[in-house]
Amino acid sequence: MQLDKLLTPERISCQQTVASKKRALEMMCELLATGQPSLDESQIFSCMLERERLGSTGVGHGVAIPHSRMQGVEEAIVAIAVLDSGIDYDAIDDQDADILFALLVPQECTEEHLQILASAAEMFSNEEICSALRKAQNEQEIYQIISQWQPHSLSA
């Protein structure tokens, strides 16, 4: 799945400074709500926090993929932030996270949710992509990097 189809430049943050996992989640919820007048940031935050209580979405190698399904969401949306320095995200490898990729999907979209998560996991397992994202100077560069990435399922 091409992740840039779910992303807009307005839902990207580059070189952001946050001090905690909670503030990072709040920021990602703000980004997800951008351009979505029907979505409430606090409701998104509650859903994300509920998911996070099941287990950290810090997947390792400096990446976190907070995600949730939510009533009232009409289509899958994503947001991405590259932080100026990593934060403790309770990752499985105990590394601080500096790349955050948030996903919000409609409540009933279980299969699509899993497909998007699989694509994100594939993209962020690519060290070159992560390195390029960390070197990006602005939101447009981040959008370009994600737009140019091709999942294996499409390149085969």
Tell me: the pLDDT tens digits for 10-52? 999 999 999 999 999 999 999 999 988 889 999 999 999 999 9
List of long-range contacts for 149-154, beta carbons under 8 Å, 24+ apart: 149/3, 149/4, 149/123, 150/2, 151/1, 151/2, 151/119, 151/122, 151/123, 152/122, 153/1, 154/2
Question: Residue 61 catalytic?
Answer: no
Active-site annotation holder among 61, 67, 113, 152: 67
Quick: pLDDT tens for 83-101.
999 999 999 999 999 999 9
pTM score above 0.75: yes
- pLDDT at position 153 is 59
Q: In the chain, where are the structural domains located? A: 3-155
Residue 56 pLDDT exceeds 50: yes
| SS3 state of residue 37 | coil
In tens, the pLDDT along 104-155 reads: 999 998 888 899 999 999 999 999 999 999 999 999 999 999 999 987 755 4
The stretch 66-80 carries a mean pLDDT of 94
Q: State both tokens at 119.
A: 């694509």
The alpha helices in 34-69, defined as continuous H runs, are: 41-54
Task: Give the pLDDT confidence score for residue 151 in this predicted structure.
Answer: 79
Nearest partner of 122 among 66, 77, 65, judged by Cα: 65
Pairing of strands 63-64, 97-106: parallel
Per DSSP, 156 falls in state: -
Q: Which fold has domain 3-155?
A: Mannitol-specific EII; Chain A (3.40.930)
Whether the predicted pLDDT of 80 surpasses 80 = yes
Backbone angles phi, psi at 20, to 5 degrees: -150, 165
**Per-residue pLDDT at 156:** 42
